[in-house]
Amino acid sequence: MLTRKQKEKIVKNLAEEIKVAKAVVFSDFKGLPVKDMAALRRQLREKEIKMQVLKKTLLTIAFKEAGMKINAKELEGQIAVAISSKDEIEAAKIIAKTTKTNENLKIVGGFLGKNILSAKEIKALAKLPSKEELLAGLVRSLNVPVSGFVNVLAGNIRGLVQVLKTISETK
């Protein structure tokens, strides 16, 4: 059992993390086997996303201290909070992927920046491509005109070589 001071410290730390978080995802983990929860935490930790489980009253107090108007008591089930301070969509992606393989885990909601999102919006956020995928697409789209130009120039040279080869064969 936690003492009041320990709870105050936990709430204060969580409020600070929420203030600097780019995204937070709430999930209901009721019925999720311990090994699956551990695997989920491991995946999140690899991406530097912190997952925490607290009583709803403590979560509500932490959200209030962070300036968020969320009442955790209104959220269904046992709530786990995934806090991402580096990437906006990675937490949503990992949790959404886990919900596909385990029906006991459900996305309940969350927020992006200071905007509160529903479960449906979090799932839509999870479908967005990652930053790396977007950058790769940008590089590909920038490369297409250049490679097309190179092929056009090479085609002219190939045509000239073919004409010269035909001329030399006829003589």
The band of 18, judged by pLDDT with boundaries at 50, 70 and 90, is confident
Q: Are residues 58 and 112 in the same domain?
A: yes
Residues 123 and 133 occupy one common structural domain: no
Structure token pair of residue 156: 């002219």
Answer yes or no: are the C-beta atoms of 68 and 109 closer than 8 Å.
Answer: no
Please state, as a whole number, how many other Cβ atoms lie within 10 Å of the Cβ of residue 16.
13
Same domain (yes/no): 135, 90: no
Domain of 102? 4-128
The number of folded domains in the chain is: 2
Q: Are residues 108 and 142 in the same domain?
A: no
Taking a C-beta distance cutoff of 8 angstroms, is the pair 82, 49 a contact? yes
pLDDT at site 68:
84
Place of tokens 């709870």: 7
Judgement on whether residues 102 and 49 belong to the same structural domain of the protein: yes
116 plus 133 within the same structural domain: no
Residue with tokens 């300036």: 67
By percentage, how much of the chain surpasses pLDDT 70? 100
Do 87 and 19 sit in the same domain of this protein?
A: yes
pLDDT recorded at residue 94: 92
Mean pLDDT, the chain, rounded, equals 87
Report whether 28 contacts 76 (CB < 8 A). Answer: yes
Strand-strand pairing, 79-84 and 23-28: antiparallel
> In angstroms, rounded to a whole number, what is the distance separating the alpha carbons of residues 113 and 136?
25
- Per-residue pLDDT band for 137 (boundaries 50, 70, 90) equals confident
We report the CATH number of the domain holding residue 29 as: 3.30.70.1730
The verdict on 21 and 103 lying in the same domain is yes
Question: Over the stretch 64-86, which tens digit does the pLDDT of each residue have?
Answer: 888 888 888 888 888 999 999 88
Residues 10 and 48 in one domain: yes
Q: Which ranges in 47-89 belong to alpha helices (H)? A: 56-65
The confidence score (pLDDT) of residue 76 equals 84
Dihedrals phi, psi of 135, to nearest 5 degrees: -65, -40
Same domain, 66 and 142: no
Statement to judge: residues 72 and 107 lie in one domain: yes
Taking only the tens place, the pLDDT of each residue in 86-112 is 888 889 999 999 999 888 899 998 888
Q: CA 51 → CA 17, 24, 39, 54, 80, distances in Å?
A: 11, 10, 12, 10, 7
Instruction: Please tell me the predicted confidence (pLDDT) of residue 106.
Output: 92
**The pLDDT of residue 1 is above 80:** no
Q: Give the CA distances from residue 140 to residues 61, 129, 131, in Å, rounded to whole numbers and listed in that order.
A: 47, 15, 14
pLDDT at 133 over 90: no
Judgement on whether residues 20 and 49 belong to the same structural domain of the protein: yes
Instruction: Using DSSP, state whether 104 is helix, strand or coil.
Output: coil
Contact 6, 80 (CB under 8 A): no
